[in-house]
Amino acid sequence: MEVFNELVLNKALWAAIIGWFVAQTMKAFLLAFKHKKTNFKLNLYSLPGGFPSSHSATVSALATAVGILQGFDSVFFAIASVLAFFIIYDAKVIRGAAGKQAQSLNKLIDVLDEDMDKLREILGHSIVEIMGGIMIGIIVGMMVAL
């Protein structure tokens, strides 16, 4: 029971969870507004791409909360920051490249006139989407940890 209580009271963990939830909810509302129809199932899944980046929001909220709670000079903040850097890098560069490959493969499927499911092409994030996620994460991290 003590482990459960520690998890429930872990502000850094809650900051990350709330950061993800806020970004995903915001993304669902923005997509509903853009397409003029509601599909809040989108909030249940971490769809890649789109504004704001829930990956960036999650790791930024975690790093911010850890910095506030443990100190910005702590090993824990260093670990959270390096983790955040690599996840954000992956969201921009690696998954962006995978999205371009998906576009090429989808064109090939069209040319070959194959009856195959197309690949999702929007996998990565733009700088604006990442910065939006980072800002949400910092704000959520501060609100939860302070």
Task: Tell me which DSSP letter residue 39 carries.
Answer: -
Domains in the chain: how many in total?
1
The residue whose two tokens read 């910092």 is 138
- Highest mean pLDDT: which range of 41-45, 49-53, 103-107: 49-53
Predicted pLDDT of residue 79:
98
Mean pLDDT of 99-117: 75
The residue whose two tokens read 């197309």 is 118
Mean pLDDT of 69-90: 96
Whether 42 has a pLDDT exceeding 80, the answer reads no
Quickly state the pLDDT bin for 38 (edges 50, 70, 90): low
For residue 39, the enclosing domain spans 2-145
Q: How far is CA 139 from CA 64, 88, 98, 109, in A?
A: 9, 17, 30, 43
- Burial bucket for residue 6 (CB in 10 Å: 0-12, 13-18, 19+): exposed
Which residues contact residue 50 at a Cβ distance below 8 angstroms, ignoring those fewer than 6 apart? 27, 30, 31, 122, 125, 129
Per the CB < 8 A criterion, the answer to whether 133 and 56 are in contact is yes
Tell me the per-residue pLDDT of 48-68, one tens digit each, with 9 for 90 and over.
678 999 999 999 999 999 999
Predicted pLDDT of residue 22:
95
Whether 43 has a pLDDT exceeding 60, the answer reads no
Nearest-angstrom CA–CA distance, 70 and 49: 31
- Highest mean pLDDT: which range of 1-10, 17-26, 65-74, 121-130: 65-74
Looking at every residue in the chain, the average pLDDT score rounds to 85
